[in-house]
Every structure is written in C-alpha cells, then in structure tokens.
C-alpha cells in the first residue's frame, strides 16, 4: 500500500518512536507464526470494500490537531478504514504474551489490531493510532483479524464515556463500518451468524501491556526485554532517571501505583472489566481492551459480565483489586531478570496493597460526601456495602438518590420520602419491607451522625457527592439499543448517547430516560447484561 500526503492530514507529525527504537520481526510474511527476538511485526491493514463513517470523537480530533470538518472528508474515512496510508505511517502489530484466566497462554499479540504510527501533537504529546479489526496479522492465530459492529461500537462508546467519567482509559477516534460481513458465533453454541464488520480507531500514548514484557522473558530474550523496559522508562517515565536496577524497581512501583489508581476509579463508578488477563493490562494504568465489560447495576460484588467467566467468576467486580495485584506479580516475574533481587519487587507489591486500600477508603468516603477517610467513614461505607446487597439495588442510582435526601430527621424517618428517593434504585419493590426500611433508617441515622461529627454541611455534601457519583453510566442495554439501531442504518441514538456521556455528572433533565435502572426486559437479553468474548 503506497503512502500519500493529503491536506489537512499532511500537518500530522508522525514520530514513530516505538518502531524507531525497538527491534522488528525481520520476517515480512503476514502469516500466523511464532515471533521471537522482536517487539513487533510489519503488517498493513486489509482494504475494505465500502466503508462508511458511523461516529467520531470531537475531543480526540482536537488532540490530534484535526476538526469535525476533517472527519467528514473522504480522506479521513479511507485512512481510518485502513484503505489509505499517510506519509509517515509505519503500520505494525505488537508481539506480546499473557496469562488468560490465570493460565499462561504463550504468544498472543495484536491479532486484529494494527498500529498506524505515533503522532506528536502541538503540545508535544504522543498519541498512537491503532485500527482494531483491520485484518490479519502474524498474531491472529486461527482468527480472521476482523471485528464486528457490536464489539466495535461498544469499545468506541465506552472509551469516550470512561474518559468523561474521569477514569484512566485508552481513547477512541472513529468508528467505521466496512461494508463487509464477518462471521461470528456470538454464543459459542455452534450457530455462527453473518454480522456487519467494523473498525474502531483506538488512541493512547502507547499500547504497551504487561504481556509485552512477559513474552520476552518467556522466550529468554533478556536483551530485548531490557531494550523495551529502557524505552518505556525513557519515553513515559523520564522523571525516574536513567535506567538502572534501582530505577527498574522504582518504575515497577510506579506501575503498581497507576494500576491501583485505575482500579479505584473502576470501583468508584461500578465498572467491571470482565477480562483482566495480563495482556489486557496497560503499563500506563489505562483501561484497555473493552470486551465483555459491564456496569454494576444490582450491587453484587460477585457479578461478572463475561459469560466465559460465569462459573469461575475470576474477574467479578469484587475481586478486581486482587486480580490487578496478581497481574502485577506476573509483571514482576517478567522483569526480575533485569533486577535479580526479589525484595524491591515484593515491597512494591505490598505498596500496591497498602496504597490501594488507602485510596479505596478515601474514594468511598468521598462518595458519601466526606472530605477524607477515617475509622468512622470506613465503618459507614462497609455497612452501606452490606446494606446494598440486602435487596437488589442499583448502585449508581442509590448514590445519586442519597445526595437528594436531606439529612433532616423528619425526612429520614418519613417512609414516603425514602420510597420517593430510592424507589428508582430498587429492582424488586416487593423486597422493600418494614425490616429493610428499618435497616436503611438505622444506617441513615449513623450517616447523619458521622456528617455532623466530621463537620460536613448539606451544601458541601450534595455538591461533592454529585461530583464523584455519576448520574449516567453506559449500561449494557443502552449500548445494545444503539447497536440495534446502527445495524438498521440509524446512528441517532449512538450520537445522542455520546452527547449524554460527555457530561455524566450533570442532571440533564431532558435526558432522564438514560439514567433509569435496567428495564426488566433487558435482564437476560443477549448483550444487555452478560456478554461473551466473541467479537
């Protein structure tokens, strides 16, 4: 594929530091195979027949120095459908391995994602552009390297929703239908179907994962491992200083911190990743690889959105902090050959546990409107988590409702007022009996007392609760409704949802229908609650 220079895209400054600094696979054949002594393989996107632009992110356009008029051009469409390369692009697929559901899976790699190159914007920031679903690579194993609309739309919409929620995440630039069908067995039940193909352009400072380091250690390639670690520190963590054994240990501790920060934010908004394999863990502490994710609607710490994980529930909501630490342990083992000392790695893992615990306690205190965590707020948060499990309660709606309830004694003791505030968060109204209401009142009295003890006035409480407890989250049924409509050629709902999620903490009275609990019809409908990895 010949590279071209087109206005206004000629102003994009490509500085492909990853491929410039790290070893490439010398084999140029695009066939499934094992790759060694390399961080990536050269590969071009597969052209598609009839692309059409479905959606784009105006915020991400601006980061790259483009505008919405540029996104409506045919050149933009052809570039981000994989049909056209700009001068400076050097398309490649990364080599990495990983643990999947706790078991070493060997080489994995970018099986259907192709990096176009790294853009350096006017603010001296680097953004890697990656087309997901752009065709086979040497890492595709037995797959076709393609993606379908349902998974691509979910990734595009969730990436941008998470960004506006304030959760560390990879971003999305565009969503393109390819005009071609892709065969997928959505339920893994032997009934594959033709689905519309799509490509999402993902964007991040880099796409390096824990698995990029793991595969090199597994291959015994310490030289390339050292090159990759040095590159990562020099480009993303330059404040740590020149690479050395001491700096490697400090870098690992920093990764532990970033990972903890990410998971705390997941828990704050009720997000469940669903596939926390080590190859799905970003070295920058970004949420990456949006597959069978979901939002905790009914507050059930044992819930997982992934049908593949339905029995073991390894990646359920409540275990995400522990799984992150387990994944960090695997990264520690991968970089051990560079440090040859267990102690600093063990200290960093303990730091993760302590730092996460402290950060989570602070987060839960802020969700209740407190300025900081203490023994009283910790006891209160723990009691609330138990209360939310007593009946089927929507976590997002409960916290928003709590901010609307005045901490006045008469209001707390008024059953009619309690039902008015919290009814919308209860999925099974017949569960709300006298015993439960008494438990709720008891907790509210404790909450009222704690607010007074900590000097939190009503105005401060309401404002700060609504700053950390979103009103709008990307419930799976909303994403599925958007998918259904786009499949029928109607993109309106997708664009409306993207607009709503730009301001997830605002009331937006005219969009109230998007802040309602999951409807009963969606409880067991495919795509509206649990999902498979099929995409």
Same domain, yes or no: 347 and 382: no
Q: How far apart are CA 334 and CA 423, in angstroms?
A: 50
Cβ neighbours around 363 below 10 Å, total: 16
- Looking at the domain assignment, is residue 488 inside a domain? no
Q: How far apart are CA 400 and CA 466, in angstroms?
A: 7
Domain closes at, from 468, 503, 518: 468
Same domain, yes or no: 391 and 309: no
Same domain, yes or no: 46 and 156: yes
- Looking at the domain assignment, is residue 390 inside a domain? yes
Same domain, yes or no: 45 and 82: yes
Same domain, yes or no: 166 and 30: yes
Domain closes at, from 315, 349, 365: 365
Residue entry with tokens 């054994």: 245
CA distances from 391 to 398, 429, 477 (A): 12, 9, 22
Contact 149, 197 (CB under 8 A): yes
**pLDDT on residue 201:** 98
**pLDDT on residue 527:** 87
Contact 451, 465 (CB under 8 A): no
Both tokens of 250, joined, read 């400090």
- Looking at the domain assignment, is residue 501 inside a domain? no
Cβ neighbours around 523 below 10 Å, total: 13
- Looking at the domain assignment, is residue 475 inside a domain? no
Same domain, yes or no: 138 and 103: yes
- Looking at the domain assignment, is residue 197 inside a domain? yes
- Looking at the domain assignment, is residue 29 inside a domain? yes
Bridge-based pairing of strands 193-204 and 126-132 is antiparallel
DSSP string covering 49-68, please?
Answer: SS-EEEEE-HHHHHHTT--H
**pLDDT on residue 188:** 63
Residue entry with tokens 């700009």: 86
- Looking at the domain assignment, is residue 500 inside a domain? no
Same domain, yes or no: 139 and 239: no
Same domain, yes or no: 57 and 144: yes
Q: How far apart are CA 44 and CA 244, in angstroms?
A: 36
CA distances from 390 to 119, 364, 428, 430, 437 (A): 50, 19, 11, 13, 11
Q: How far apart are CA 98 and CA 100, in angstroms?
A: 6
Cross-strand bridge partners of residue 393 = 426
Same domain, yes or no: 11 and 151: yes
Total count of domains within the chain: 3
**pLDDT on residue 187:** 60
Same domain, yes or no: 101 and 27: yes
The domain of 419 spans 370-468
Residue positions annotated with a catalytic role: 279
Candidates 294, 358, 262, 371; CA nearest to 528 is 294
Q: How far apart are CA 55 and CA 172, in angstroms?
A: 10
pTM: 0.96
Domain closes at, from 446, 468, 490: 468
- Looking at the domain assignment, is residue 486 inside a domain? no
The tens-digit pLDDT sequence of the chain (535 residues) is: 777 777 778 889 999 999 999 999 999 999 999 999 999 999 999 999 999 999 999 999 999 999 999 999 999 999 999 999 999 999 999 999 999 999 999 999 999 999 999 999 999 999 999 999 999 999 998 889 999 999 999 999 999 999 999 999 999 999 999 999 999 877 666 778 899 999 999 999 999 999 999 999 999 999 999 999 999 999 999 999 999 999 999 999 999 999 999 999 999 999 999 999 999 999 999 999 999 999 999 999 999 999 999 999 999 999 999 999 999 999 999 999 999 999 999 999 999 999 999 999 999 999 999 999 999 999 999 999 999 999 999 999 999 999 999 999 999 999 999 999 999 999 999 999 999 999 999 999 999 999 999 999 999 999 999 999 999 999 999 999 999 999 999 999 999 999 999 999 999 999 999 999 999 999 988 888 778 775 5
Same domain, yes or no: 193 and 177: yes
Same domain, yes or no: 281 and 398: no
């Amino acid at each position: 594929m010949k590279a071209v220079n087109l206005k206004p895209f000629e102003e994009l400054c490509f500085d492909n530091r990853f491929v410039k600094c790290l070893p490439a696979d010398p084999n140029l054949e695009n066939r499934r195979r094992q790759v060694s002594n390399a961080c990536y393989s050269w590969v071009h996107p597969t052209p598609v027949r009839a692309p059409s632009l479905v959606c784009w992110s105006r915020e991400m356009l601006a980061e790259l120095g483009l505008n919405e008029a540029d996104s409506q051009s045919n050149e933009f469409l052809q570039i981000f459908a994989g049909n056209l390369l700009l001068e400076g692009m050097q398309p490649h697929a990364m080599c990495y391995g990983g643990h999947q559901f706790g078991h070493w899976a060997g080489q994995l790699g970018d099986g259907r994602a192709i990096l176009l190159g790294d853009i350096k914007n006017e603010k001296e920031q680097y953004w890697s552009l990656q087309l997901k679903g752009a065709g086979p690579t040497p890492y595709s194993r037995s797959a076709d390297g393609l993606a379908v609309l349902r998974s691509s739309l979910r990734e595009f919409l969730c990436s941008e929703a998470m960004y506006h929620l304030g959760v560390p995440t990879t971003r999305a630039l565009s969503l393109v239908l390819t005009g071609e069908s892709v065969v997928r067995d959505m339920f893994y039940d032997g009934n594959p179907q033709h689905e519309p193909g799509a490509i999402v352009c993902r964007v991040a400072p880099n796409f390096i994962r824990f698995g990029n380091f793991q595969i090199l250690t597994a291959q015994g390639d310490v030289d390339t491992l050292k090159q990759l670690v040095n590159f990562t520190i020099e480009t993303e963590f330059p404040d740590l200083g020149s690479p050395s054994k001491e700096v490697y240990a400090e870098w690992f501790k920093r990764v532990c911190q970033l990972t903890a920060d990410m998971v705390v934010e997941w828990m704050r908004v009720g997000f469940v990743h669903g596939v926390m394999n080590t190859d799905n863990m970003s070295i920058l502490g970004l949420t990456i690889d949006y597959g069978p994710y979901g939002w905790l609607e009914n507050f059930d710490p044992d819930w997982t959105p992934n049908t593949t994980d339905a029995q073991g529930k390894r990646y359920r909501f409540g275990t995400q902090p522990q799984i992150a630490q387990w994944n960090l342990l695997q990264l520690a083992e991968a970089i051990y050959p560079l440090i040859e000392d267990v102690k600093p790695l063990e200290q960093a893992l303990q730091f993760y546990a302590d730092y996460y615990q402290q950060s989570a306690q602070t987060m839960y205190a802020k969700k209740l409107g407190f300025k900081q965590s203490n023994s009283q707020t910790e006891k209160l948060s723990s009691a609330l988590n138990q209360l939310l499990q007593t009946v089927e309660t929507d976590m997002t709606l409960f916290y928003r409702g709590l901010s609307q309830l005045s901490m006045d004694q008469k209001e707390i003791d008024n059953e009619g007022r309690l039902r008015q505030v919290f009814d919308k968060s209860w999925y099974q109204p017949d569960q709300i009996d006298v015993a439960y209401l008494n438990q709720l009142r008891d907790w509210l009295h404790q909450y009222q007392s704690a607010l007074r003890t900590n000097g939190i006035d009503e105005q401060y409480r309401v404002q700060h609760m609504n700053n950390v407890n979103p009103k709008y989250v990307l419930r799976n049924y909303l994403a599925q409704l958007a998918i259904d409509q786009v499949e029928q050629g109607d993109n309106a709902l997708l664009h409306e949802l993207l607009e709503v999620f730009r301001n997830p903490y605002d009331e937006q009275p005219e969009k109230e229908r998007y802040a309602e609990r999951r409807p009963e019809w969606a409880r067991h409908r495919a795509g509206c609650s649990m999902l498979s990895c099929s995409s």
